[in-house]
Amino acid sequence: MDTKIIHTDYSECMRQSYLNYSMSVITARALPDIRDGLKPVQRRTLYAMHELGLSYNKPHRKCARIVGDTMGKYHPHGDSSIYESLVVMSQDFKKNEPLAEPHGNFGSIEGDGAAAMRYTEARLKKLTEMVYLADLEKNVVDFAPNFDETEKEPVVLPVRIPNILVNGAEGIAVGMTTNIPSHNLREVLECVKAYIDNPDITTQELLQIMPGPDFSTGGIVANQEDMQEIYENGTGKIRLRGKVVLEEGRRKTDKDKLVITEIPYTMIGDGIRRFLSDTAQLAESKKLPEITDISNESSKEGIRIVLELKKGTDVERVKNILFKRTRLEDTFSVNMIAISDGRPTLFSLKSILKHYLDFQVEINERKYTWMLAEEQKKREVQEGLIRAVDIIDLIIEIIRGSKTQAQARACLMGDPSGVTFRHRESAAEAAKLNFTQVQAQAILDLRLSRLIGLEIAALNKAYKDTLSKIRKYEKILSNRKTMLHTIKEELKKIQEEFGHERKTWVTSLEQAQEVKEEIKEEDVLFLMDRFGYVKVTESSVWNRSSEQLHDFRHAFLCKNTGRIQLFTKSGRLHQIKVSDIPLQKLREKGVPIDNISKYDSSQDEILFVGACGEHPGEELIFATADGLIKKTAVSEFLSSTRAMAGTKLGDGDELVYVDYYNKKQIILQSEKGSFLRFAAEEIGSGKKNSMGQKGIALQEGDRLKHVWQVTPGEDTEIRVKEHQIELKRIRLSSRGGRGIKLRLS
């Protein structure tokens, strides 16, 4: 068999494949459709529930069955994504208007996951049936083949409200994200009606009806002044705050309490645990010493986080610190992107309303066209039956004289050939009949009981109702003003049945400012143990408990207004405010240094710990494994940056020594036992971004291991390979030499 090899550029093939993949994710997975505000997995799940007959007034069904039907028929992308979508659509703390009614454990606002799908059950909400899935049988939307062309699924659901505003949307696609806040149903529909009345209405006028988002968790939108810009551009940041109330103690012995009753929407899930942890840490580190106890009393009735306060607490100060230091105040990044005509598009509020209204006009035109056709079919049958009642004797004679049903039907349509009549006049009358085929069949199917007087009256009444509906539908289809009025009336009914009061308060509040109290400068004792736990304690411990300080890796006095500097082997400098280190007693454990700095003990090793600014005129000595050495003024490192480069290193090099320059001579020791002693004055000064000068000439494969600063004549002994060496035996040389190897005895 001949093979055909297609030559193509590799980069072009990759580019096209990635483009196809990204567009598939964008349009078929991650982003909602502007028309119904649903992602494909949500739409398919709701349609599968509709097909299963899971009405709001029928028993719940196992979620495993719902997920199975959805995956097997419409969404072959794994059961976990389908079940997660079903869970989210059922959670009233995530959706303003939940679309499914849960039964069982569907998770909690504090981040607890839902039970497995084999345990939980669900059914459609009344809102979903009446507003999202109604009229599907009336050809209001297009249907397309499913993935294996064995079923049909709706391309879009005929949702009668702007769901993309009411329930919002969030999704991460390739190269773009969407994040649309939820809004109040009643207010959104008022905006729609105002837009119908005046398509030129301004965003500012719409915001007088709908002042901003309405989140399911309540809370406060604190930057109302930014709403107009956000809704005109489709992007921006919403500043959210939790609702905090003060509960004063009823008796003198009772303490006042700050109670958080509503949280920012962004705190849902692990954010609540994080808030409790952050608040506890603020209290322990004496940033909020006014808080004496923290408890989470939240339940099914709602959020209730209680902070117990000391007597005489400045409540506003505590609230400001909570807003500033925790997620009790947070931002919601708005990015109103949705799929329109197969493409991702950024929408403003007015453009969303325009697309929504265009969609409503389209589905209503299709709906009333279908209903008009049905009524016209009904009218045709009714007219035939009414005529038939007036000549029922002739029709009975035709039926009795016909050999087959087809012969009787043909006679009713004006062809009496083959029919035997009892009276000659009847044949002439039958020849004048002109019933349509539909009417003729309806007459033949007519039951004799329909000839009772009351039934005939009911038939006439039904005919009049049919004519009335036909006139109504024709008027709606021929007059856009009537069509829009019909849409408004439907929205009014939805408002009355499903509308509810706003949960989120929209206002303008200044950003929280943490008022820092004047700290009286004083000496404190910094302590760090061998496990990396740090704390500060009273300076008096320095003299009072000096013997116990030998257990600590680092212990020195510093100012409570200063900073602690950490130099690591990789040449990084990490700085910590002394005020950020917990003030504790000597016997208390402290906190891991990783928790209060950007230092990561699993990635790097600390070489030197000192107090920034305590020695402004002094210098630090740096020595590296490659044998380089330099002096750098302490003033080079006076910065508020928490992490930065402390020195420049070559490839494969690392720091082995950092300390204050305070001795007369330097002794360097290599790994292979070479020692070099020289005057400290020979060390050149360099900036923090310089590499330094050669301290010792190392042999190939050798590296610098230890550095000592010594005073001439100082009798210091070191241990090398289980041998004691007196440093005074090392004679004075010059910087940059090879050094000597001592005879070990």
Q: Strand 591-592's sheet: what is its strand order?
A: 554-559, 523-528, 533-538, 591-592
Q: Are strands 505-506 and 220-221 parallel, antiparallel or unpaired?
A: parallel
Q: Are 274 and 343 in contact (CB under 8 A)?
A: no
Backbone angles phi, psi at 294, to 5 degrees: -130, 130
661 is an active site residue: no
Q: Which helix (H) or strand (E) holds 279?
A: helix 270-284
**Contacts for 447 with CB less than 8 Å, ≥ 6 apart:** none
C-alpha to C-alpha distance for 383 and 161, rounded to whole angstroms: 39
Strands, E assignment, 484-544: 505-506, 523-528, 533-538
Side chain identity at 429, as an amino acid letter? E
Residue 424: Cβ within 10 Å count: 7
Helical H runs in 499-599?
Answer: 541-544
Q: Are 115 and 132 in contact (CB under 8 A)?
A: no
Q: Are 155 and 178 in contact (CB under 8 A)?
A: no
Q: Are strands 693-694 and 628-633 parallel, antiparallel or unpaired?
A: antiparallel
C-alpha to C-alpha distance for 378 and 372, rounded to whole angstroms: 10
Q: Are 167 and 157 in contact (CB under 8 A)?
A: no
CA distances from 226 to 215, 314, 508 (A): 17, 30, 9
C-alpha to C-alpha distance for 13 and 284, rounded to whole angstroms: 58
CA distances from 200 to 206, 347, 354 (A): 11, 17, 11
Check 119, 356, 463, 599 and give the catalytic one.
119
Nearest Cα residue to 629 out of 603, 651, 661, 652? 661
Residue 640: Cβ within 10 Å count: 8
Token pair in block for residue 431: 């020849």
3-state secondary structure of 625: coil
Q: How many helices (H) and strands (E) does the chain have?
A: 19, 35
C-alpha to C-alpha distance for 40 and 35, rounded to whole angstroms: 12
C-alpha to C-alpha distance for 138 and 241, rounded to whole angstroms: 46
Q: Are 580 and 534 in contact (CB under 8 A)?
A: no
3-state secondary structure of 177: strand
3-state secondary structure of 229: helix
Nearest Cα residue to 623 out of 645, 651, 653, 600? 653
Side chain identity at 577, as an amino acid letter? K
Q: Strand 619-624's sheet: what is its strand order?
A: 655-660, 619-624, 628-633, 693-694
3-state secondary structure of 220: strand
Residue 235: Cβ within 10 Å count: 15
Backbone angles phi, psi at 499, to 5 degrees: -70, 155
The gap from C-alpha 311 to its chain's centroid, in whole angstroms, comes to 39
Token pair in block for residue 130: 């009446």
**Rg (alpha carbons) of the chain, rounded to whole number:** 41
Residue with tokens 């005074």: 728
Token pair in block for residue 412: 């009713």
Strands, E assignment, 496-605: 505-506, 523-528, 533-538, 554-559, 563-568, 572-577, 591-592
Beta bridge partners of 238: 332
Hey, CA dihedral for 567, 568, 574, 576, is it positive or negative?
A: negative
Catalytic residues, by residue number, are 119
